Amino acid sequence: MSNGRERFSKLGFILAAVGSAVGLGNVWRFSYVAGDSGGAAFLLIYILCIFLVGLPVLLAEFSIGRKGQQDVVGSFNAISPQKPWAIGGFLGVASAFLILSFYGVIAGWVVYFLYSYVTGATGNVGTGEYGDFFGAFIGGAAGPVFWQVLFMIFVVAIVFSGVKKGIELSNKIFMPLLAVILIFLAGYSLTLDGAGEGLTFLFTPDWSAFAQPGVYAAAIGQAFFTLSLGMGAMITYASYLPKDTNLPSAAGTVVTFDTLFAIVAGLVIFPAVFTFGLEPGAGPGLIFITLPEVFNQMGGAGTLFGILFFFLVAIAALSSAISLLEVSVAYAMRKFNWTRRFSAVVVGAVVTLFGIPSALSQGGPLSEFTIFGLPFLDAVDTLTDKYFLPLGGLVIALFVGWGWNKVDALKETGLTNSALGTAWIWFLRIVAPLGIAVILLLNILG
Ligand code: PHE
Ligand code: NA
């Protein structure tokens, strides 16, 4: 089935999908959400959400994309023409666009920190002053915008270069590099004095957290975000797949790597945080304030640690950002009949422009401008994470569970006549939609 679209190789697809999943969500977001929500109790609920909801929905996205062989809107329409399911596709394009707008801003901060460690600028910051250092940077105007734009130029350049020569090639370089750096950092972190305390925080649950509904909402939100679900990134990537890829095993691989990556990132961060007597619940500033304080106290090794850590986060963010851009680029290519190059530049420029208010909202010139009481970046983050992604995931689960002919769905997934296939369909019919609906209601009411 060749309709002139580019194709991933099998390995290229797995690496690209892992690259999409592994990102700021695993390091920046996972560590502060886990830190805020009680560590181990959160981790346990999060892992449940990953397997009960995330894995079935991920497989559903792979299946829709490979069957549809088009961008997210086109794939829904190809499988189920003249039906309202494509609304899920439009929601996906909107989510991908919105998420990338602020993802680029935060990735820009990461690149700025990398730069500051490389040039030695962080060496002049005194103990206890990293909060001011970070605050002064994100509270500026030219700074955050400059680093956001720089990061977005890399994102556009990769998507511009195509599925094989851009997305596949970059992930083939980035993913092994990520694994090596992460394992090195975790190995070092575990030798620190606070390693035991860090491990306890991450692996010994505080049972009272299970009674708090907020922890469940945080866990499911994190599960969607971290697996790149609910907005068509995985649908779009799977649309570049050859027919002979084993989808269930690909989905299992992505979930395994993403979860491992988050946990090992926790093994890097929490031992270090406890060793130097800092707070794990520091919120979004955890990797930008708390960790640099840690690096500062490590002496000479701290600079190397800082460089490697921010380099790691930067390439993880880059491989995720390209999957976000690809969703809208693939959509625009089909919809307006644009070339890939034109689409990458135009869509990339528009997303970047839309991200500028986010870049200026964190103490900068636009910090007084709020939407529902939230600064621009936080408003876009909340809107997508609490409402759009779960809603998108709900549509995807219901579509494969109830909308798409069961026999065809199972056939596309390679699970015909298997117990696993039956389980998958019923998870998509009942378990995932119920779980998502409850969380959506909690988010709307809360
Ligand atoms: N999964 C990515 C992360 O963990 C974020 C992302 C979300 C990427 C949605 C693509 C789509 O950082
Ligand atoms: Na992730």
CA distance 428 to 391: 14
Does residue 397 carry a pLDDT above 90?
yes
Residues 6 or more apart whose CB falls under 8 angstroms from that of 144 comprise 105, 108, 109, 112, 137, 138, 359, 360, 362, 364
Q: Output the pTM of the full model.
A: 0.94
CA atoms within 13 A on the CB side of 180: 7
Q: How far, in Å, CA of 338 to CA of 330, rounded?
A: 9
Euclidean distance between the first and the last CA atom of the chain, given in angstroms as a whole number: 47
Confidence grade of residue 4 (pLDDT, cut at 50, 70, 90): low
63 CB-contact burial (10 Å; exposed 0-12 / middle 13-18 / buried 19+): buried
Range list of H helices, 120-168: 130-138, 142-160
Indicate whether 54 belongs to any domain: yes
Please state the rounded mean pLDDT for residues 109-124: 94
Residues with CB under 5 A from ligand 2 (ion): 21, 25-26, 226, 258
Cα-to-centroid distance, 22 and ligand 1 (Å): 7
Domain of residue 207: give its range. 10-445
Tell me, using a 6 A CB cutoff, whether residue 25 lines ligand 1: yes
Nearest to 323 by CA among 72, 150, 76, 105: 72
Q: CA-to-CA distance for 99 and 282, rounded, in angstroms?
A: 23
Q: Could you tell me the sign of the dihedral formed by the alpha carbons of 309, 315, 317, 320, in that order?
A: negative
The rounded mean pLDDT for the chain is 92
Is any ligand 1 atom within 6 A of the Cβ of residue 225? yes
Structure tokens belonging to residue 350 = 């528009």
Residue 282 and residue 439: Cα distance in Å, rounded? 25
Whether ligand 1 lies within 6 angstroms of the CB of 319 is answered as: no
Of 18, 228, 261, best ligand 1 pocket probe by most atoms within 8 Å of the beta carbon: 228
Check if 265 has its Cβ closer than 6 Å to any atom of ligand 1.
no
Tell me the two tokens of residue 315: 């390439």
**Rounded CA gap, 439 and 446, in Å?**
10
pLDDT at residue 3, as a whole number = 57
* Protein residue with its CA nearest to atom 11 in ligand 1: 228
Q: How many domains does the chain have?
A: 1
d(CA 344, CA 348) in angstroms, rounded, equals 6
pLDDT digits (tens, 9 = 90+) for 407-425: 999 999 999 989 999 999 9
The closest-lying atom of ligand 1 relative to the alpha carbon of residue 229 is 9
5: in domain: no
* pLDDT exceeds cutoff 90 at 318: yes
Residue 349 lies in a domain: yes
pLDDT digits (tens, 9 = 90+) for 227-271: 999 999 999 999 999 888 999 999 999 999 999 999 999 998 888
**CB-ligand 1 contact for 221 (6 Å cutoff):** no
Query: Is 264 touching ligand 1 by the criterion CB < 6 Å?
Result: no
The pLDDT of 75-95, averaged and rounded, is 94
388 found inside a domain: yes
Structure token digits, residue 287: 């990797």
Closest ligand to 320 CA?
1
What are the tens digits of pLDDT across the range 269-292? 888 888 888 877 777 778 898 889
Among protein residues, the one with the nearest Cα to ligand 1's atom 6 is 228
- Give per-residue pLDDT as tens, 178-192: 999 999 889 988 988
For residue 241, being part of any structural domain is answered with yes
Residue 66 in tokens: 């490979």
* Closest ligand to Cα 230: 1
Kindly state whether residue 352 falls inside one of the protein's structural domains.
Answer: yes
pLDDT above 70 covers a percentage of the chain that reads: 99
Ligand nearest to the CA of 50: 2
Q: CB of 203 within 8 A of CB of 327? A: no
Residue to probe by mutation, ligand 1, list 323, 380, 384, 385, most atoms within 8 Å of CB: 323
Domain assignment present for residue 3? The answer is no
Which amino acid makes up residue 232? G
* Residue 119 neighbours by CB under 8 Å, 6+ apart: none
How far does residue 280's CA lie from ligand 1's centre (Å)? 23
CATH code, 201: 1.10.4160.10
- The pLDDT of residue 41: 87
| Lowest mean pLDDT, pick from 170-179, 198-207, 333-342, 384-393 | 198-207
Q: Higher model confidence: residue 313 or residue 285?
A: 313
Is residue 311 assigned to a domain? yes
Which CA distances in Å does 238 have to 16, 60, 135? 10, 10, 40
pLDDT at 147: 98
24 lines ligand 1 (CB under 6 A): yes
Among 189, 105, 128, smallest CA distance to 362 is for 105
The string of pLDDT tens digits covering residues 31-60 is 888 887 878 888 999 999 999 999 999 999
pLDDT mean over 382-409: 93
Residue 322, amino acid: I
Residue 127 identity (one-letter amino acid): T
CA dihedral 346, 348, 354, 355 (to 10 degrees): -160
Torsion of CA 40, 45, 51, 57, to 10 degrees: -130
Confidence at residue 1, expressed as pLDDT on a 0 to 100 scale: 42
d(CA 68, CA 155): 26
For residue 99 the two structure tokens come to 């998420």
Question: Which residues are within 8 A (CB) of 316 and not within 5 positions of it... i.e. 6 or more apart?
Answer: 22, 23, 24, 26, 27, 174, 178
Which of 18, 20, 328 to mutate to test ligand 1, by most ligand atoms within 8 A of the CB atom? 20
Phi, psi of 56, deg, nearest 5: -60, -40
DSSP state of 245: -
Write out the two tokens for 33. 């959400």
Q: What is the atom index within ligand 1 of the atom nearest the CA of 258?
A: 4
- Asked whether the predicted pLDDT for residue 2 surpasses 60, the reply is no
Q: Of the ligands numbered here, which is closest to the C-alpha atom of 228? A: 1
